[in-house]
Amino acid sequence: MKKLLIYLFLSFSFVGIANGETIETQNYKLPELECMKKTFDKFIDVFGVYVVGTDKAPMDKVMHTAGVLAQYLDNDEDGLPDDPKISSFLSKYNFIVPVWREKDREAFWQSARGTPCEDNIGMAASMYYNDDEWAIGGIKKTGQWDTNLEEVWHVVSVGWYEVYPKYFGNDGSMLQDAMNKARGGFFENVPSAYPKNAWYSYYDESCDYHCQAHEYFYWILMANINALDLSYTDKCRPNDEWNICNKSQLKQKDVLAYELLNNYDFVLPTRIPDGQYKSDVIKVY
């Protein structure tokens, strides 16, 4: 699995707020920033959150990523964010979803030094058009996995961590409690071996405790919306990390996660994004 980028490239002002401080950030219209235009020539506004693409990023892939983002934020596709607090947070802190290559990412952050992009762009994950798995039209139609379901969610989920810290945050949240149960106990660092009763066992030593929780949030959401069902793809084939494939299995095996996602009146996604967003609120620049 591609290494998670959560919280790696965030503005100083966002980090300050995450630590309980009150530091203002500056909100920009990203297509007008020279430091953005130097790398990107495709800008798609999804409820104030931008999907951006380089000149060589195929437009159909950039639009697909934008469609997945839109469906995560507006899962019932009525043209309005399901939870405006989430989209507003991501917009306020200039979060983007880049579609590029790894070398483009490295070049962007080098060129961003000393510009507004260095301290005012929120980035939690990327889509790589030449390496990642793409299911244009959705996993049900293509029968293959779509990396967008993971990486775009890693961006959207930042809003959930910050807007609802008691439930999803990085300091003793209900999400972490559920993860501790799923891992067979509390492990600040990745153990050499998880207990035999664990059903979430991620062994990437570069992924610390908070990163483990972010990955866990992704897995339980995918199960809850049936995106891992074996009738669609083989993403949930037996492995060492996770093998709860659908909502029914989640309810039976991971009770704390199921209750968190379904019994607290949150407007979380319930349908699998396929990128075919039906509303016309997406703006292309």
Q: pLDDT tens across 150-207, in order?
A: 999 999 999 999 999 999 999 999 999 999 999 999 999 999 999 999 999 999 999 9
User: Which domain does 110 fall in, by range?
Assistant: 12-159+278-284
pLDDT at res. 25: 56
Asked if residue 202 and residue 69 are part of one domain, the reply reads no
- The confidence score (pLDDT) of residue 183 equals 98
> What is the pLDDT confidence band of residue 239, given thresholds at 50, 70 and 90?
confident
Q: Is residue 269 part of a domain?
A: no
Q: Looking at the structure, do residues 23 and 111 belong to the same domain, yes or no?
A: yes
pLDDT at 23: 40
Q: Does some domain include residue 176?
A: yes
Q: Which pLDDT value is given to residue 31?
A: 86
Q: Could you tell me if 148 and 179 lie in one domain?
A: no
Tell me if 65 is assigned to some domain: yes
What pLDDT sits at residue 16? 34
One domain, residues 242 and 193: yes
State residue 7's pLDDT score: 42
Number of structural domains, the chain?
2
Q: Phi first, then psi: give them for residue 230, nearest 5 degrees.
A: -65, -15
Residues 259-279 have pLDDT tens digits of 999 999 999 999 999 999 998
pLDDT mean over 217-226: 99
Give domain status of residue 247, yes or no: yes
Confidence band (pLDDT; 50, 70, 90) for 121?
Answer: very high
pLDDT for residue 15 is more than 80: no
pLDDT score at 29: 80
Residue-level pLDDT at 21: 40
- Does 153 lie in the same domain as 169? no
Euclidean distance between CA atoms 284 and 80, whole angstroms: 17
pLDDT in the model for residue 5: 44
Q: Compute the distance between CA of residue 172 and CA of residue 176 in angstroms, rounded to an integer.
A: 6
103 lies in some domain: yes
**Domain annotation covers residue 111:** yes
Mean pLDDT of 241-246: 95
* pLDDT of 52 over the 80 cut: yes
Q: Which sign does the torsion angle of CA 29, 31, 32, 35 carry?
A: positive
- On whether both 130 and 232 belong to a single domain, the answer is no
Torsion region of 265: left, alpha or beta (phi above 0 gives left; psi -120 to 50 gives alpha): left
| Same-domain status, 136 and 234 | no
Same domain for 169 and 154, yes or no, is no
Place of tokens 């959401």: 221
Euclidean distance between CA atoms 260 and 265, whole angstroms: 9
Within a domain: residue 1?
Answer: no
pLDDT band at 240 (very low <50, low <70, confident <90, very high): confident
Pair 33, 143 in one domain = yes
Residues 255 and 191 in one domain: yes
Q: Are residues 150 and 122 in the same domain?
A: yes
| Whether residue 217 has pLDDT greater than 50 | yes
Distances (CA, A) of 191 to 63, 188, 204, 211, 216: 40, 9, 10, 15, 16
**Quick one: average pLDDT of 235-249?**
91
> Is position 268 within any domain?
no
Give yes or no: residues 57 and 187 share one domain: no
Instruction: Supply the pLDDT for residue 24.
Output: 52
What is residue 44's predicted lDDT score, i.e. its pLDDT? 98
Q: pLDDT per residue over 102-119, tens digit each?
A: 999 999 999 999 999 999
Q: Which of 32-36, 123-127, 250-254 shows the lowest per-residue confidence on average (mean pLDDT)? A: 32-36
